[in-house]
Amino acid sequence: MRLKADLILLLVAILWGSAFAAQRIAGQAGSLYFFNGVRFLLASLLLLPFALRNRMPRRQFPWMAVAGTILFTAGAFQQAGLLSTTAGNAGFITSLYVVIVPFVMLIGWRERPHWLAIIAALLAGLGAFLLSTGGTVQFRSGDLLELLGALFWSLHVVVVGKFAPGYDAISFSAGQLLVAGLMSLAMAMLFEGRSLVISPPVMGAILYTAVISLGLGYTLQIWGQKHTPPTDAALLLSLESVFAVLGAWMLLGERLAPLQVLGCAIILLAVILSQAKGWGKMEIEGQ
């Protein structure tokens, strides 16, 4: 069962990573809030039949709203960044949320980060610099937006980790996706009237990310993490960034310079190192 769960989480990483190419296609078509709104709502509707099997307590609603608002903000920054950066860059920079989380815990909950987390953060910063600039001092606005998105993704991970475990996971996911979708559509009606006409490429990106990345991905993640320790799960899901690069290479023909490849490797090392603090504890618990 454990091996099956690990393979399921690996599949989730593939699904999430491949979604960056689809999001890039939508971004090139000029769709931001509308794209996010439709895919979030569609994913919520896909989860709704499963969510309705269990009763939702009222005390769950405020935290779903908070998580959904953060999800909306993170998704908006991520999609806006894809307008002026590559899918591969977006995937790797987004993966920085793994090393930002300990510092969010320190500021918000006074939980001191492990010394490995500090080293990982410094390595990730170096990797992000190489990936985003290719070793030069010229930054791209899209990379900065992706970094802001990574900050909000880390906030989302912390909020969900702190307040969602006491509730049904599927109903909580459906609720936060509904909130994020409605907020995105409201912004689309205010600022993106022209985006209400959906082109075939954008429709394909919406269907893929809603059904495969959000609907199927979130559902499989919930099942996989029931049978896999959090440290292993986070490590497997962090491979999303690797598959983002592969997806951009296969679907969009994007390329990375040697220094950018080195940046990718350093970020991946940082993501792995940030999880290493739990390995010893996991081994002791497994004895």
Indicate left, alpha or beta for 177 from its phi (over 0: left) and psi (-120 to 50: alpha).
Answer: alpha
Q: Which residues contact 75 (CB under 8 A, 6 or more apart)?
A: 36, 40, 149, 180, 184
Task: Give the confidence band of 196 by pLDDT, cuts at 50, 70, 90.
Answer: low
pLDDT exceeds cutoff 80 at 142: yes
Nearest to 34 by CA among 156, 197, 178: 197
* Band (79; pLDDT cuts 50, 70, 90): confident
Q: What share of the chain is helix, strand, coil (3-state, %, to 5)?
A: 80, 0, 20
Distance CA 116, CA 108 (A): 20
Instruction: State the average pLDDT over residues 178-187.
Output: 93
Average pLDDT over residues 132-161: 78
Q: So what's the pLDDT on residue 226? A: 67
Average pLDDT over the chain reads: 77
Both structure tokens of 54 = 């269990």
pTM score over 0.85: no
Q: Write out pLDDT tens, residues 257-273.
A: 788 788 878 877 877 77
CB neighbours of 52 closer than 8 A, spacing ≥ 6? 171
- Joined together, the tokens standing for residue 186 give 């409201």
